[in-house]
Amino acid sequence: MMNLFYDDINICLQAGIILRQIPKKPTARLYPNPANNSVTLVYELPEVSTAEFLLFNSVGMLQLKQQMKIDVTQMSLSTEQLAPGEYHYQVNTSSDFQLNGKLVIIH
């Protein structure tokens, strides 16, 4: 059996064919969820200059605001100062992209 390797990008470029790159879909999720003392935000964002993580309690009051580093794909957040309950989060970018989700905190 022959092992074959196809390098589509180099083959197409040599033939003058431009491949269409499918843009990555932005994602953000928190784990563990429900959380106890800390939570980790794992994210993949489009090429933007700035992004921030916002956490709101069940009545919509801002509880936590954290700037995100675009060149990293995860960050840890402490939830020790937050009361047990359900929270909603947003990831906002400077390119007007927004991701939303829910976080449950238990102690």
Domains, the chain, in order of start with CATH, read 24-105 (2.60.40.10)
Give the predicted TM-score (pTM) of the model: 0.74
Phi-psi region of 68 (alpha: psi -120 to 50; beta: other; left: phi over 0): beta
- 35-83 pLDDT, tens per residue? 999 999 999 887 767 889 999 999 999 999 999 987 888 999 999 999 9
The yes-or-no verdict on residue 107 having pLDDT over 80 is: no
Q: Mean pLDDT, the chain, as a whole number?
A: 84
Spatial separation of the C-alpha atoms in residues 86 and 105, rounded to whole Å: 6
Percent of the chain with pLDDT over 90: 51
pLDDT at 52: 93
pLDDT at 2: 64
